[in-house]
Amino acid sequence: MATSELRFDIKPSLTASELDDVDTLVREARWNQLTADWRIFTDLGRVYAAHTGADRIVATTATLPYGSRFAWISMVLVKSEFRRHGLATQLMRRAMEELAREGRIPILDATPDGRAVYRRLGFQDSWGFQRFIRREPRRPAAATSPPAGTRVRALASDDWPALCAYDAAAFGAERGAMLKGLRGRLPAAEIVAERDGRIAGFVLGRDGMLAGHLCPLIADDDAIACALIARALNVLDGPLFIDLADDKTAVRNFLEACGFDPVRPFTRMLYGTSARFDDSARTFAVVGPEFG
């Protein structure tokens, strides 16, 4: 089919057949997203889609705004037989134009292959992170205790307001609604660190098509981050992803000792600038390339 015969639109929701289509795109790309992830975009952001005449989705891009300053662009997927026709670029440009009209800076997380493409569109490198996977369960070799005066425990419902405030200060924008979309998807990974009556770190998680995902990991320091990971690993089975910032070498060493292997590097890129919005000291692991 000629690309001129395709229809482009924004999906306010996804029908059952459209969910089948986008799930097919995810499986072809060997990505990890599930229906619950697409619903975050339709509920809180936008899904841009290219359709065939038979109304099947063959390409997507999604945006997710965080406050008034910036928004994520992700889920750039094209069905295999429609690749190399510029569909991804068309959808990307449309998304970027709408974000520009809203005054939001587009941000994305690029693979090595995608990085050169996005640089040509005006994105600049900011910082890097690496995806790690634990393929088989392996408990921490030794007890990993939090620093003196810090308690690591399961997340309670009444922690949520303080957790969202702590996260917003570290991330650079309030994103409680997006984080709520992770709640209950990997309950054993919902853990907080508490010190002097306040949140000093937390980790959440989500299920996925290929593996569970520990995300995000925000903490005051390396010791708290490792204690949160250790608590999660002691109760979680099966394969697990975590997307760790490149500058967190102590935590990387801990992950590798727990059986995690590097899978793929990513570069966080911002349109027209390299200045990051988040607190680099407390940002240990991101939610994922699709959510920031």
Q: Is residue 215 part of a domain?
A: yes
Q: Do 149 and 256 fall within a single domain?
A: yes
User: What whole-number distance in Å separates Cα of residue 243 and Cα of residue 266?
Assistant: 9
Same domain, 53 and 160: no
Which residue type does 203 have? V
Is there a single domain that holds both residue 96 and residue 143? no
Here the CATH number for the domain that contains residue 33 is 3.40.630.30
- Identify the pLDDT of residue 212: 98
Query: Is residue 89 helix, strand or coil?
Result: helix
pLDDT at 85: 86
Distance CA 59, CA 76 (A): 7
Q: Which of 288, 213, 217, 287 is nearest to 248 (CA)?
A: 217
Say whether both 26 and 148 belong to one domain: no
Question: Do 52 and 141 belong to one domain?
Answer: no
Residue 249 belongs to domain spanning: 132-265+273-285
Is 234 inside any structural domain?
yes
Cα(152)–Cα(193) distance, integer angstroms: 4
Q: How would you write the pLDDT of the chain (292 residues) with one tens digit per residue?
A: 556 689 899 999 999 999 999 999 999 999 999 999 999 999 999 999 999 888 899 999 999 999 999 999 999 999 999 988 889 999 999 999 999 999 999 999 999 999 999 999 999 999 999 999 999 877 776 567 888 999 999 999 999 999 999 999 999 999 999 999 999 999 999 999 999 999 999 999 999 999 999 999 999 999 999 999 999 999 999 999 999 999 999 999 999 999 999 999 999 999 999 999 999 999 999 999 999 9
Task: Assess whether 249 and 146 both reside in one domain.
Answer: yes
Element (H, E) at 39: helix 35-44
Q: How many domains does one find in the chain?
A: 2
What is the distance between the alpha carbons of residues 263 and 239, in angstroms, rounded to a whole number?
13
Query: Quick one: 96 and 156 in the same domain?
Result: no
